[in-house]
Each structure stands twice: as structure tokens, then as C-alpha cells.
Amino acid sequence: MGNIQDIQSLGFSLPSPAYLFGAIVFGAIGFAAFLYGKKQGLAWPKWTGVALMLYPYLISQTWQLYVVGIALCAALWFAPE
């Protein structure tokens, strides 16, 4: 059970390097937004940051990860102060 074929036969698949990179980048942006929102007492960046940190667990396609991540980052950028 130590090789990739055995793992894939159980129905598991490994994410691509592009997916892992996107999940790490968007998670780091989300963490920074969460800390900023918490420090400033602003709900919008805090909860958008939480969403950026957690949504990669719900999405399995790489293109969806980037579309949702870019949309959430744009929401952070253009958010009302």
C-alpha cells in the first residue's frame, strides 16, 4: 500500500503542483486579511480572510480554485472601508 497506484485505486488522487501553489498563496493572503481585519476591528476583511483560508478544502478543480481565489481577493481589494 505504499505506492501511488494503490492510493489511486482507493479513489484518492493527489493535487497538481499548480493547485498546491494556489492553495498556499490564497491561504496566506487570507491569513493576512484575517489578521488585518481582527487588528482593525473590521468584519469584512476578517471573514473574507477566513473564506480564503477555507475554500480550497471545498474545491477540487484547479481552475475553480483560481477563479474563486481571484474573486475573493478582488472582493478584499474593492471592499468598502
Identity of the amino acid at 45: P
List per-residue pLDDT tens for the chain, 81 residues long: 467 777 777 777 778 899 999 999 999 999 999 999 999 999 999 999 999 999 999 998 999 999 999 999 999 998 776
Question: What pLDDT was estimated at residue 49?
Answer: 95
DSSP-assigned letter for residue 41: T
- pTM for the complete prediction? 0.83
Question: What pLDDT was estimated at residue 81?
Answer: 66
